[in-house]
Amino acid sequence: MKEMNALSRTDREILNILQADFPLTTRPYHDVAEKMNLDEEEVIARIQAMKNSGLIRRIGGVMDARSLGFYSTLCACKVPEQRIDEVAGIINRQKGVTHNYIRDHEYNMWFTLTAPSQDKAMQIMQSLQSDAGIEVISMPAKQVYKIKVSFEMSDLNAL
């Protein structure tokens, strides 16, 4: 993975735009390029290089599932060490799983699940329990305090 301090000022500016000011147009990379006085091909090449290095995982919208009428919950389960990859694969096949992490805890696998309804989420969790042979604990949010994170990339001293 590319080190943060190795990023050029141009790459940092691109990252700032991608995080906070991504153009919702038919040619967003062209618009980013115009804003930065670059060629669209250069912007695309720089973004591709950052994706290839692992610095950028994905580019996409973040929707507020609740506002769209969906049900979302944080889930936890105990997975034997030797089954982590297998169980992660079973969980990750579900379309509504957005994050899946291993934690240093008795409940060592945590994931978020979003579904069209609470009933559908419960069906998915029951299916996961059956398919993976594990218990899934559901912990829906009572109150959401953080909905967005953005990393200011232009200040080298902030890193």
pLDDT tens string 59-115: 888 778 888 999 999 999 999 999 999 999 999 999 899 889 999 999 999 999 999
pLDDT at 137 over 80: yes
Contact indicator for 21, 159 with CB cutoff of 8 Å: no
CATH 3.30.70.3460 in the chain, residues?
A: 71-139
What three-state secondary structure class fits 18? helix
CATH 1.10.10.10 in the chain, residues?
A: 4-61
Instruction: Tell me the pLDDT of the chain averaged across its residues.
Output: 90
Mean pLDDT of 25-31: 96
The CATH architecture to which 4-61 belongs is Orthogonal Bundle (1.10)
Which pair of structure tokens corresponds to residue 41?
Answer: 């091909």
Q: In what order do the strands lie in the sheet with 71-77?
A: 97-102, 109-115, 71-77, 137-139
A 10 A CB-CB count for 6 gives 9
- Lowest pLDDT segment from 6-15, 50-59, 148-157: 148-157
The CATH architecture to which 71-139 belongs is 2-Layer Sandwich (3.30)
DSSP single-letter state for residue 145 = -
Contact indicator for 65, 72 with CB cutoff of 8 Å: yes
Measured distance CA(108)–CA(93) in Å, rounded: 19
Q: Report in angstroms the alpha-carbon separations of 80 from 92, 102, 106, 134.
A: 17, 11, 10, 9
Q: What pLDDT sits at residue 34?
A: 96
Contact indicator for 29, 40 with CB cutoff of 8 Å: yes
3-state helix, strand and coil shares in percent for the chain, rounded to the nearest 5: 40, 15, 45
Which pair of structure tokens corresponds to residue 3?
Answer: 């080190």
Confidence class for position 145, pLDDT limits 50, 70, 90: confident
